[in-house]
Amino acid sequence: MPVVRSSDAVAHEIHGARFVSYATPRTGSRELAAWRGEIPAGTKAPAHTVTKEEILHLLDGELLVTLDGRTERVGAGDTLIINAGATLTVENPTAETAVTWVTTSLGLEAELADGTRIVPPWAN
């Protein structure tokens, strides 16, 4: 039984946020990726389109999420279903760090508005 200890998780930083990966092929996952996201106060990630469905659960804090042009304020305990092909922007307008748990299929990529493709190591 693979157990990923918190001390074995790998942290990555991009666009002002921190992603701590737990479930990846490196840790024994064959189909899914899962990570904790830490979005500091005042952070706004650039709009990006995802290639795989993501499930984002907000553990702590509050976020403004724009999904395909519709903006929602989400709080701790709320879950977002982000379908493949959706474009989203995540912003933390508060004074506290927001903490998320995200799960997706392996192979997730994101495309920025300028056409730059990101292959997040925490999801592959």
pLDDT of residue 99: 98
Report d(CA 72, CA 95) in Å as an integer.
18
What totals of helices (H) and strands (E) does the chain contain, helices first?
0, 12
Predicted local confidence at residue 70, as pLDDT = 97
Establish how many alpha carbons lie within 13 A of residue 5's alpha carbon, considering only the half-sphere containing its beta carbon. Answer: 2
SS3 content of the chain, % helix, strand, coil (to 5): 5, 50, 40
Please write the tens of the pLDDT for every residue from 40-76: 999 999 999 999 999 999 999 999 999 999 999 999 9
How do 87-91 and 48-50 pair as beta strands?
antiparallel
Confidence (pLDDT) at 1: 64
Q: Which pTM does this prediction carry?
A: 0.92
